Chains A and B, each alone.
Chain A
Amino acid sequence: MSGTSIAGEATEETLPAMIVAAEKAGKARRRVNRGPRVPVWAIVVLTLSAVYFLLPLYATAVYGFSNGKHFTLQPLWDGLGDPGFQTSLRLSLFYSVLTTLLALAVVAPTAYMVELRFQRLRSTIEFLSILPFVIPPIILVVGLSSMYGIKSPVNLLASSWAPVLLMGGYFILTLPFTFRAIDNALRAVDVRTLTEASSSLGAGTIRTFMKVIVPSISLGLVSAALLAFTTAMGEFTLAALLGYPTFPVYLLNVNGWQPHMGEALVLVSFLITWAGVIALAAVARRTPGTQVVRGGPM
């Protein structure tokens, strides 16, 4: 390092140079400290876990891109062109989009009102966030089917209200996450002051909400939407047990008779989850405190 070459006496001329050299050395030392001094055990642990986590993805790709003998993309094209896949994906998209819109339309105004006026309801609402654990999908589906199922007096399932049943179920499943995402965003801005300022300028509650609150919590709304959408896209339990042939349900059936095509479609399903979660992580990086994992049994 050049710092050692000017270790002689300090004159007025050499002083600035010494300072520069010392700074350089300091920077270099800091860089060395920050550098690759990962403990060996940490490297071993991280490498082994990478193998465990990547191997199933690799194996899926090997099966999905093969006809049993050699590499081919044919199963993927077969899968994407399969009418059953297209119908089930369309159904999943239908429910996911509607659930997302319903969640945004209902949760955002409610969370705003709770924050603004009904602080006392906060503890009740917080309680909601543990509900998916106490009432996971497998329990909710029993309740829904005994209340609205085929054998029930209120047989929604066999009526034209059937879509509402699954949407309602998905709304409940995603509620804790959508509520928390929007509530976090609301708490990060001063809702009370914004509202007072807006109403002192003559705006009504609805106008204030649409023009002032919604734009200031847009990232929270985006992450709520992504959470609702990815949850509904991947949901299996309610759909399968109430009898809606969505994409995950189709995925289960198709694997039974066309394994290669099935594995190719599993990759498609992974890509959908992947896109959702990575988008969520990108939003979360800009808004600390955002939940990236849905949590709760599936």
Chain B
Amino acid sequence: MRSLTARTDAGTPAAARSRGGRAALALLPLAVLITAFLLVPTVALVWGSFHDSKTGAFSLANYSYLGHPLDLIPFRNSLELSLASTLVGGLVGLLIGQAIVSSRQPLIQEIATTFSSVAANFAGVPLAYAFIATLGNSGLLTLFLRSNGIDLYDGGFKLYSVLGLTIVYAYWEIPLMVLVMLPPLQAMKRSWREAAEILGASRWQYLRSVAIPILMTPFISSLLLLYANAFGAYATAYALTTGFVSLVPIEISNLINGDVSYDPGQADALAVGLAVIMAVCIGGRAILERRSTRWLDR
């Protein structure tokens, strides 16, 4: 700290030190808040995951879920749900993004971007109830289809299932994809396509040799973002299923809040497992981002 202030201040060393000290004081409130509400709880969580919650002795029992197929069901369900909503959100989002760019209408771009920002922020309880009103047992669309001879619920559809959750998660995954893919899609220059056409490339050749290689990195990186986003989501899933579909975030909440299933140690261990999955996604995204192709730098 002393060397830093000495570099920026030309005053006497003592004056610089006291000024540097006062400057460091300005960082103190943030440091205190981060320590109290992020670092200490995180340490407590990791510590708790390796200790028996009743006796306080060191134990790996909380991680026994890793060896039991039955205990891995929430992970399997979460994996399935995240994969499905990432694929739907990713592909549809890409399609909408390209449609927005291809429209070349400033007004459409403006409306679509603003609406995407709004929709990407619609999550949790309100979104769950909007979908209950639409696709629930007596939702608007369900009733409409039923009166036209198509009974979704007789056909085995449930809103509070992995399929139903996928439809609901897509509501924020698609606009998120649109928002993160719009910049790279807009950075694709028309002249590249024209150059390819002049050189005699077909539409498919242009896609295969120019567009796909350039867009692949941001596309995969966006998918990782969507995946992590779906995996860690709790509010929407809980509001929609009231805890009946076994997902990792829901199991965690049952373990810290449930009367019967109360087990903070296991909740800690599940939370660590979830954090590892999230870290892998986001770490992968950071690596991809670092070697994002220079073609897209505007």
Cβ of A277 and Cβ of B99 under 8 Å apart?
no
Interface residue SS majority, chain A? helix
**Count of B residues near A, CB < 8 Å?**
90
- Tell me if A248 is interfacial: C-beta within 8 Å of chain B: yes
Cβ of A49 and Cβ of B233 under 8 Å apart?
no
Q: Which residue of chain B is the closest to A231 with respect to CB atoms?
A: B121
Contacts of B126 in A (CB 8 A): 234, 248, 251, 266, 269-270, 273
Given contacts A56-B171, A169-B37, contact A139 B133 (CB under 8 A): no
CA gap between A234 and B239 in the complex, in Å: 13
CA gap between A39 and B126 in the complex, in Å: 35
Contacts of B119 in A (CB 8 A): 53
- Tell me if A255 is interfacial: C-beta within 8 Å of chain B: yes
Q: How far is the CB of B66 from chain A (nearest CB, A)?
A: 17
- Tell me if B195 is interfacial: C-beta within 8 Å of chain A: no
Cβ of A168 and Cβ of B36 under 8 Å apart?
yes
Cβ of B45 and Cβ of A142 under 8 Å apart?
yes
Of B146-154, B199-207, B209-217, B270-278, which binds chain A?
B270-278
Given contacts A133-B278, A236-B124, contact A277 B103 (CB under 8 A): no
Cβ of A110 and Cβ of B30 under 8 Å apart?
yes
- Tell me if B125 is interfacial: C-beta within 8 Å of chain A: yes
Q: Which residue of chain B is the closest to A250 with respect to CB atoms?
A: B125
Contacts of A52 in B (CB 8 A): 171
Cβ of B129 and Cβ of A113 under 8 Å apart?
no
User: B40, B108, B115, B232: which contacts A136 (Cβ < 8 A)?
Assistant: B232
Contacts of A55 in B (CB 8 A): 134, 140-141
Of B69-77, B186-194, B223-231, which binds chain A?
B223-231
User: A144, A266, A278: which contacts B129 (Cβ < 8 A)?
Assistant: A266
Cβ of B41 and Cβ of A59 under 8 Å apart?
no
CA gap between A293 and B180 in the complex, in Å: 10
CA gap between A273 and B232 in the complex, in Å: 21
Q: How far is the CB of A242 from chain B (nearest CB, A)?
A: 9
Q: Which residue of chain A is the closest to B168 with respect to CB atoms?
A: A56
- Tell me if A75 is interfacial: C-beta within 8 Å of chain B: no
Q: How far is the CB of B165 from chain A (nearest CB, A)?
A: 13
Cβ of B171 and Cβ of A59 under 8 Å apart?
no
Q: How far is the CB of B212 from chain A (nearest CB, A)?
A: 18
Cβ of B92 and Cβ of A49 under 8 Å apart?
yes
Question: CB within 8 Å of B: which of A144-159?
Answer: 144-149, 151-152
Cβ of A110 and Cβ of B257 under 8 Å apart?
no
Cβ of A293 and Cβ of B117 under 8 Å apart?
yes
- Tell me if A228 is interfacial: C-beta within 8 Å of chain B: no
Apart from A136-B274, A142-B264, 12 more pairs, CB < 8 Å: A53-B119, A60-B134, A62-B140, A105-B29, A133-B282, A134-B278, A136-B232, A138-B234, A144-B37, A270-B126, A277-B114, A298-B236
10 tightest A-B contacts by CB? A143-B41, A297-B232, A136-B232, A168-B37, A42-B99, A236-B235, A56-B130, A59-B140, A59-B134, A143-B45
30 A-B contact pairs sorted by A residue (CB < 8 Å): A36-B105, A45-B96, A53-B175, A56-B130, A62-B140, A113-B26, A133-B232, A133-B281, A136-B232, A139-B275, A141-B256, A143-B45, A143-B271, A147-B44, A152-B44, A172-B33, A172-B37, A234-B124, A236-B239, A241-B257, A262-B129, A270-B122, A277-B117, A281-B113, A294-B121, A296-B229, A296-B232, A297-B232, A298-B123, A298-B235
